């Protein structure tokens, strides 16, 4: 096959993948990328997918859970594979060094496809490998990566295939992406068998990432949840920087504020005002620990009128102040 042929096409030929795992990646993202391929091989009874895990320095990779993932060597060991997938998580700006970014730029033309899982999209974007493409990243980083990379069309999808560029927003979307790859190459029956092995179903890449703060995804998608509560939560999540009073949320849903209060207390054990406030504080906590945004900006982006009010609310919720938590992280 030529480099221009897509890997998402029916083919009995083995597909080889180099998997570059960066320090502080999630073990779930790694497993969600590799285990569906392993399962596909098991069901087929042959090696339809091959992979080699590599790391920036060739050593074992420390993951967020404290375990170390063995590596077959540096990025050079991925040369010759059909595709390269970069898996990254926390501290990508630190662990994706300039030499690694330069090495990615040099080696990229040798692959038929290049992918980024979770924060892997950040790494590809820093190397200029997503310019002119649609891409996604973990939902927590969508706004920042879009602002930093105006030549990339950032979308909130679970996964995106844009020509020879592939991105997925995290562990679960990575599994969806791998099931799509299996289905594209070997048919829907095999993809269903693999999904059944993990007691899951494949979700379409164009579905939005519905991850949210404080269990918001479960709160919205739980089939036992009142749909009005789900709609209220979605509205709150979309307005973290400009929160509405509970009465305005209720009015938008066509119910009274008292009715909305009762629904939230019955479903979640707290009122809508408290839930919305916790959504904002959880979002603020992530920005404090995972970004270098000024604290005044964090306060504004999570709907607090002043840094003082933000700091007081944050300390009451989490214990340390925002500045104390940032110094410790």
Q: What is the pLDDT of residue 219?
A: 46
Q: What is the pLDDT of residue 214?
A: 35
Q: What is the pLDDT of residue 119?
A: 96
Domain ranges of the chain: 15-197, 213-328
Q: What is the pLDDT of residue 291?
A: 85
Which pLDDT tens digit goes with each residue over 306-321?
Answer: 999 999 999 999 999 9
Res. 104: pLDDT tops 60: yes
Question: Could you say which architecture CATH assigns to the domain 213-328?
Answer: Orthogonal Bundle (1.10)
Q: What is the pLDDT of residue 4?
A: 56
DSSP string of 19-70, one letter each residue: EEE-TT--HHHHHHHHHHHHHHHHHHTS-SEEEEEE-SSSSPEEPTTS-EE-
Which pLDDT tens digit goes with each residue over 144-160?
Answer: 899 999 999 999 999 99
Q: Name the band, by pLDDT with cuts 50, 70 and 90, for residue 109.
A: very high
Which pLDDT tens digit goes with each residue over 116-140?
Answer: 999 999 999 999 999 999 999 998 8
Judged by DSSP in three states, 87 sits in strand
Q: What is the CA radius of gyration of the chain?
A: 21
Q: What is the pLDDT of residue 140?
A: 84
User: Is residue 141 within a helix (H) or strand (E), and if so which, with residue range?
Assistant: none
Q: Which of 296, 295, 300, 302 is nearest to 327 (CA)?
A: 295
Q: What is the pLDDT of residue 39?
A: 96
Quote the CA–CA distance of 309 and 282 in Å, as a whole number. 15
Instruction: Supply 253's token pair.
Output: 């849903």
DSSP string of 298-317, one letter each residue: HHHHTT-SSHHHHHHHHHHH
Report the b/e string of 299-316 with b at 16+ CB within 10 A.
bbbbbbeebeebbebbee
Per the document, the length of the chain is 329
Which pLDDT tens digit goes with each residue over 196-246?
Answer: 999 888 888 888 875 433 344 444 445 566 899 989 998 998 899 999 999
Q: What is the pLDDT of residue 199?
A: 84
End-to-end CA distance of the chain: 47
Q: Name the band, by pLDDT with cuts 50, 70 and 90, for residue 3.
A: low
Q: What is the pLDDT of residue 212?
A: 38
**% of the chain exceeding 90 in pLDDT:** 81
Q: What is the pLDDT of residue 114?
A: 98
Q: What is the pLDDT of residue 217?
A: 46
Which pLDDT tens digit goes with each residue over 11-56?
Answer: 999 999 999 999 999 999 999 999 999 999 999 999 999 999 999 9
pTM check: above 0.85: no
Helices (H), the chain: 27-44, 92-95, 98-107, 120-126, 142-148, 171-186, 188-197, 216-221, 227-238, 246-253, 257-268, 272-290, 295-301, 307-318, 322-328
Instruction: Supply 141's token pair.
Output: 């980083």
Quote the CA–CA distance of 39 and 191 in Å, as a whole number. 10
Partner residues linked to 15 by β-bridges: 49
When pLDDT is averaged across residues 241-258 and rounded to a whole number, the result is 96
**15-197 CATH choice from 3.40.50.880, 3.30.1490.20, 3.40.50.170, 3.50.30.50:** 3.40.50.880
Domains 15-197 and 213-328 share a fold: no
């Amino acid at each position: 096959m030529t480099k221009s042929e897509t890997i998402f096409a029916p083919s009995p030929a083995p597909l080889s993948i180099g998997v570059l795992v960066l320090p502080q990646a999630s073990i779930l993202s790694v497993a969600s990328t590799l285990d569906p391929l392993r399962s596909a091989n098991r069901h087929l009874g042959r090696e339809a997918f091959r992979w080699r895990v590599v790391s920036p320095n060739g050593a074992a990779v420390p993951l967020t859970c404290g375990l170390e993932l063995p590596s077959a060597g540096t990025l050079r060991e991925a040369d010759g594979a059909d595709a390269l997938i970069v898996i990254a998580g926390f501290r990508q700006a630190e662990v994706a060094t300039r030499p690694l970014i330069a090495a990615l730029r040099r080696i990229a033309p040798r692959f038929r496809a290049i992918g980024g899982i979770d924060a892997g999209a950040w790494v590809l974007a820093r190397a200029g490998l997503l310019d002119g493409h649609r891409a996604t990243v973990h939902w927590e980083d969508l706004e920042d990566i879009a602002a930093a990379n105006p030549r990339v069309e950032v979308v909130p999808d679970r996964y995106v295939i844009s020509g020879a560029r592939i991105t997925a927003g995290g562990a679960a979307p990575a599994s969806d992406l791998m099931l799509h790859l299996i289905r594209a190459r070997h048919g829907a029956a095999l993809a269903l068998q693999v999904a059944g092995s993990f007691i899951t179903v494949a979700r379409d890449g164009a579905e939005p990432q519905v991850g949210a703060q404080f269990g918001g995804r479960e709160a919205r998608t739980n089939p036992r949840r009142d749909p009005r509560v789900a709609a209220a939560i979605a509205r709150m999540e979309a307005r973290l920087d400009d929160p509405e009073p509970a009465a305005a949320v209720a009015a938008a849903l066509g119910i009274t504020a008292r009715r909305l209060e009762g629904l939230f207390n019955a479903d979640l054990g707290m009122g809508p005002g408290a839930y919305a406030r916790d959504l904002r504080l959880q979002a603020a906590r992530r920005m404090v620990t995972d970004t270098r945004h000024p604290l005044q900006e964090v306060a504004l982006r999570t709907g607090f009128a002043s840094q003082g009010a933000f700091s007081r609310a944050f300390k009451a919720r989490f214990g340390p102040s925002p500045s104390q938590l940032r110094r410790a992280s």
